[in-house]
Structure 1
Amino acid sequence: DTPDVRDVTIEAGQPLTFTASFDTVPAFEPGDYATISLRRPSSRVEDEAVNDALERLRQRAARFEPVEGRGLEHGDTALVDLERREPSGKVDTHRGVSVELGSPANPPGFDQGLVGLEPGAGKTFTIHFPADYPAAELAGADMVYTVTVHGIKKRVLAALDYEFAKDLGEFESLDLLRARIREDLEHEARHGAEREMRAALMKQLAARVPFDVPASLVEREIDRRIEDFARRLMEQQVDPREAGIDWNAFRESQREAAREAVGGALALDEVARREGLGVTEEEVAREVARYGERTGRTAAAVRARLEKEGGMSRIHSGLRREKAIDFLMARATISGEP
């Protein structure tokens, strides 16, 4: 792993000096591999799951048609101007926004305030947010809404027939579309089962480490988890600094899982050492090339950056641990469907 470098001294005509510290762990006995007991979850896909997935596709393919001659009903989408006045007097205004009646994102009681309104009509009403409302800034507050309706559209679902199947990907029949959905769901289920088994394996391996794992490795794993979570927030256009998250509490909530992950990784390293599991340069090159394909960069550019940042060792250790996982899965006692 990357050492902690400090006390760097650079003086003209003198050797470079520094202090580097890194954690070491003792060799240990990882136990009898055959006593690792795992259960393979079922990857069977029921007809109901296929029907649910088909209905989701149908909902996404829905079209919206203008409605005339009646007021808003549940399930309609309204084009509105909306004003929200807080108890402090602060006003939040939105123009020309679409609101679907029945959406779980709507405030409690909001839909009832709009039902029956026709285009051109407006209404002012008060909503009381319960004390346990998830958004802390709204919990227990009374908000005054003023809404003006400018238009109404209703969702129209396509019939489940040949035309629907064809529009989704040139399927020649609805049965062929169902077959493709089942195939995709089975693929997801198999991968989900594999993830569950790997997680169970790592948990059992962590329990076999006979010493407290180094605190610095746990902190580093927590840092990695926080960075990964923050990255996912940013991918959803959410600023981690403004997400209302208590990062100190979040950090502590990750500590036990991080400790387990570090323990599992150390056990994998010990298995790889004992069993002589190595990684070839060709395997490293293939992994670098795959990473380049995922990120749209050349293998040479990826390798250059990894070498500059000291990341090649992570590639090597990751591949070695994958081999250790495969080695252990082949020797563990696994129950459940094959």
Structure 2
Amino acid sequence: MPPSLPSKVAKGETPAGPGAPKPVHMDEVLVEIGGKSTMPEFSENLRGASAGDERSFDVVYPEDTSDQRLAGKTFTYKVKVQSIKTKSLPELNDEFAKQLGEFSSLEEVRKRIREGMEAERKHDAERDAKDKLIVELIKRNEFEVPESMVEHQIDIRLDRGLRALAAQGMKAEDMKKMDLNRLRAGQREQAVSEVKASLLLDRIAEMEKIEVGNQEIDDEITALAKQSNQEPEAIRARLTRDGALDRIRNRIRNEKTLDFLYHQSA
């Protein structure tokens, strides 16, 4: 018999945490008891509750939580259980496999999963080997790099990091409070390594006559368009306006050069 996982459908209120002006009311929130994405405090305090029960408990969010608005803060939740549901997992058989749409048997599903896991393992191993190859390449070719290139690479790394924080919900005013000088200093060592790696790969590409064709650029633009649900022409126009096409060409060239070195060393 397939295992079942209990869930509670609840509504509740979050009284004001630090700096919050008023409680936040939420209706019909599904909480999976013991679920991977469920805060432990919710599972501990709602386990065993029945429909109609009311519970009040505190949740302490760690400093490293992904949502910086909650980091390091404590909130008190008042919850009323509306109903209890059970999540029943399906039987693992050929009928289940057919419901997935492209399989005729459970063995086919298992084979696809095994192949996917093996491909991921090989990809991870190749990535680790390439990282070590770059480290060794830099170690064997010590040289100074222009400060302007290092500063530019630090700018790129910071911009990438700030965009990620914004995507996670960090507000612009909170970003302005960050110590950018300290952040820049923290990015310097990795930026120097990345600049050295790029210059070395560029030199090897020249020696080995490794080039990037227009079709490869077109393929990259098409992939970016699919990811962002935009037209390729719009992506190309933006990249051209931002001067990013050359960066894409250089990145693809470096990747091809690294592939060349990897297969040479294998």
Question: Shorter chain as normaliser: what TM range?
Answer: 0.7 to 0.9
CA distance in 1, matches of 2:239, 2:59: 54
User: Structure 2 stretches of 5 or more lacking a match?
Assistant: none
- Contact 2:7–2:33, Cα closer than 8 Å, also in 1: yes
Question: Corresponding residue for 2:218?
Answer: 289
DSSP-derived class of the 1:293 partner:
helix
Q: 1:204 aligns with which of 136, 150, 153?
A: 136
Under a length normalisation based on structure 2, what TM-score does the superposition of the two structures give? 0.77
Q: Give 3-state SS (helix, strand or coil) of 2:30's partner.
A: strand
- SS of the residue aligned with 1:96? strand
1:187 & 1:264 partners in 2: Cα distance? 27
The structure that is helix-richer by fraction is 2
1:193 corresponding residue in structure 2: 125
Aligned counterpart for 2:10 among listed residues 67, 77, 80: 80
**Aligned twin of 1:318:** 251
Q: 1:224 to 1:133 in 2, by over 3 A?
A: closer
Q: Tell me: CA distance 1:254–1:167, structure 2 relative to 1, closer, same or farther (3 Å).
A: farther
Indicate whether 1:238 and 2:179 are aligned: no
Instruction: Give the Cα separation in 2 of the matches to 1:197 and 1:303.
Output: 33
Aligned to 1:93, the other structure's residue is in SS state: strand
Q: Residue 104 and residue 319 in structure 1: after superposition, are their counterparts in 2 closer, same or farther (change >3 A)?
A: closer
Superposition TM-score, scaled by structure 1 size = 0.62
Unmatched tracts of structure 1, length 5 or more: 1-57, 65-74
Whole-angstrom CA distance in 1 between matches of 2:259 and 2:11: 58
Verify the 8 A CA contact 1:77 1:153 in the aligned structure 2: yes
Residue in structure 2 matched with residue 266 of structure 1 by the alignment: 199
Contact 1:76–1:101 at 8 Å: present in 2 too?
yes
Identical-residue share of aligned pairs (%): 31
The alpha-carbon deviation at position 160 of structure 1 amounts to: 0.8
8 Å contact kept, 2:34–2:40: no
Task: Say whether residues 1:148 and 2:148 are aligned partners.
Answer: no
Give 3-state SS (helix, strand or coil) of 2:13's partner.
strand
Q: State the Cα distance separating 1:308 from its structure 2 match.
A: 4.4
Q: CA RMSD in A?
A: 3.5
Change (3 A) 1:139 1:302: closer
Distance in 2 of aligned mates of 1:183 and 1:198: 22
For 2:262 and 2:251, locate their aligned partners in 1 and report how far apart those are by CA, in whole Å: 16
Alignment check: 8 A CA contact 2:138 2:197 kept: yes
> 1 CA distance for matches of 2:71 and 2:204?
53
**1:48-96: per-residue Cα shift (whole Å, max 9, x none)?**
xxxxxxxxxx9xxx9x9xxxxxxxxxx4221111122247694232122
After superposition, what is the alpha-carbon deviation per residue over 1:271-330, rounded to whole angstroms, capped at 9, x for unaligned? 233x25242xxx421112202321157777665555544444334433443443244234
Q: Shift of residue 226 of structure 1? A: 2.9
* Conserved 8 A contact 1:165-1:172: yes
Q: Does 1:114 align with 2:43?
A: no
- One-letter identity of the residue aligned with 1:162: D
Instruction: Please say which of residues 78-87 and 298-307 is displaced more in the overlay.
Output: 298-307
Aligned length: 254
Instruction: Kindly indicate whether structure 1 or structure 2 has the higher relative contact order, using CA contacts under 8 Å at least 6 residues apart.
Output: 1
- The answer to whether structure 1 residue 179 and structure 2 residue 108 are counterparts is no
Which residue identity lines up with residue 87 of structure 2 in the other structure? Answer: R
Alpha-carbon distance in structure 2 between the residues aligned to 1:257 and 1:163 = 51
How far apart in 2 are the matches of 1:323 and 1:218? 23
Q: 1:115 to 1:201 in 2, by over 3 A?
A: same
Q: 1:328–1:210: structure 2 CA closer, same or farther, 3 Å change rule?
A: same
Q: Would the aligned equivalents of 1:207 and 1:263 in 2 still touch at CA under 8 Å?
A: no
Give yes or no for contact 1:230–1:240 (8 Å, CA) kept in 2.
no
* Alpha-carbon contact 2:59-2:77 (below 8 Å) kept: no
